[in-house]
Chains A and B, each alone.
Chain A
C-alpha cells in the first residue's frame, strides 16, 4: 500500500478520499482537537452568529487532507508539509471530496520529494480548502 517515488509522475491525480461528516463526527473532532467553538455543534448558536447551519471545522478539513496524503503514501513515506486555506464553508451531511494532483517531483538533500496541489471539494464542485503539500517517498 506504499507509493514509491518512481511510480509517481507530475500531473497525476492521487486517489480521492470521500468524506461526509455527520454532527457526531464534529463532536468527536471537537473533543480530539480541543476546539469547542459552538458554531460547530450548536445549531442555535451557529444561527445566532449569522450562519445558516453548523459548519465543519476548518482544521478537520486540514486533517482530512492529511489523511488523503497518508492513505496515498502509506507508512514508508512521510508528510513534510501540508497546508490549506479555508475559502468556503462545508456543512454536515454533505459530501466533501478530498483530492490531490502531483505538481512537482524532485530530489533535495538526498530525499525523494513530491509537491502536490490538494483541496477539498463541495457538492457544487467548489474548492473549499485549497492548499499545497510536500511528501517524501521511498
Chain B
C-alpha cells in the first residue's frame, strides 16, 4: 500500500514526541552521577516503576506484532500475549526480590554477588549485550513500521529516525528520565488501547466484500472447470488464453493472459461437487520499470495502481448484514459463528518472467480464526508429527522463562528502594500488562475485520485499525507506540551500556573509572549499540516483530535463567558452572536460531533451504542444556572451589 502523511497526524505526533523528549532532557539534568544514570538513585516510587515496567515491556512486539499476528492469522498471536504475561510470574515469584537484594547496577552483579569473579562478569556482560541487541532488532523494525503510514517515509528512514532520537535520549538522559517517560507511555498506551477496544465493540461487525478503499473483490461461480474461461471473460476483457494450474502453488489457480497488459490470477475454491468458485487476487511483481501492482505500475496517478486494503467479515450468523454494538463476550460468540476473509500469498516462478507474488482471499470460518494452530509456525500442533508440537512447546517455554531473564527488565529492579518496592512494582506491572494483553485479542480481531489491513505487512495492523476509526486517534496511537519503541530501545541501550561499563570495562579489563568517566564510557557504548541496532533494524524489515521477540526470549532464557535460578536455590553452584552455563546457553540458542530454516528463509533469503535444526524454536533444548551444563560443571569443579 502507499502511505500518505496526514497533516493533523503529523502535528499531533510531533507534539507528543517533542513533549516526551523535552521531559526526558529536563529530567535528565539530574541524572549525571553513575548511580543516577544507571539506577535513578534507587528513588523511583514503586507505582511509577510498575507502570514503567509496562512501558518497557509493552513494546513494538506487543502492540504491533501481536495485534498484527492476530489480525492476519487469528488466535495464534494471542499465544504470545499469554506467554509474555506468564513470564512475569517467574519474575515476581522467583527472581524479583533476590535480584534486588543481590545486585546494584546490572544483572551480572546479582550473579556475581557470591563469587566476585571476572569470568562471570565477562560472560554475563556479553550475554546482556547479545540479548539486548537481539531484542533491539524487533523494536527497530517496529519503529520503521510506525513511521511508514504516519509520515509516509520508507521503512529505513523510520529506523534511522528512531535510532538517532534514542541515542540522543540515552546520551543526554539516563535511567531517571527513561523511567518517567516509560511511565507516561505505559499509561497512555493502555488507556488508548482501551478506548480503541471500546470503539471496536461499538462498531460491531458488518458484512463486506472489500476493504475501506471501496474496491469490491469479485467471487465468481460456482462454475464447472470447463466453463472457467467463459465466466472470467464476463468480467475481464481482452483475454487471449486461460491456464489452469493445480499443482505449483499453495492453492490451485487460473492464470489469465491478455492481448495487452500483464496477466491476472484467480484462485479456485473447490465446492466438492465438481464445481469451483473463482476468487480475485492481488499481485506484485518487480519489473525493469519499477513495481507492478495488479498488472499496473505502482502509484496513485491515473493508470497506476496500489494494493487494496483487506480484512472483512463475509458472513454473519443468521444471515445478518450488520450486528450493531457488541459486548465483551458477544464479540467472540458472534465471530465464532461468522466467516472472515483472510489473505495469504504464494510466489510464482515462471520462466522468462520476474517472480510474481500472488495475494489471495481465504474465506475462513470464525471458529477456525479463534482456535490455535492456524499460523504456519504453529500449524504443527494440528499435525501428527511430533516435531511441530515440540516447536510449539519450545516457544511457550521460552516465553515463560524469558521475561525474568531480560536484562532491561532486570535493571528496573535497581531503580526502586527495597525488596518490598520491587515486589509491589512487579504486581502493578502485571496488572497493567495483563489488562493490555486482554485487549490485544480485541484489537487484533478488530483489525482483522476493519477493512484496513495491508497484505504486505502484518506489523501495520494496529496503526491501520486506528486510522480506519479516526485520524486523530491514529496519530495519538502512533505517537504513543512510537515513543514506546523509543523508551524500550533506550532501556535496552542503557542495559547494554551498563554491561559494557560495569561488567566489561570496569571489572574485566580493570579500567579505573571515576564517576564521570563511567558515565562517559556508557554514553559512548550507547552510541555504538544504537548504530548496530539501526543497521539490524533495516536488515530485518518485514519479519513479524513478535516472532523476532520470541527468539530474543529464547536467547535470554537459555543464557541467563539457569544461572539466576540455580544461584538462588542450590548451594553447590561454582563460578565455573555459572560461566559455562552462560556461554553454553547463549552460544547454543544463538547458533540454533542462526541455523534454523526460518532464518535461512527470512534473513538469508534462501527460501528452499531446510536449515540445520529440526525446528525453529531453540528453548526446549537450550534452556535445559544451560541447567545441565551448570550442574555438571559445578559438580566437576566443586573440589577446586572448596
Question: Does chain A bind chain B?
Answer: no
Interface residues of B (CB under 8 A from A): none
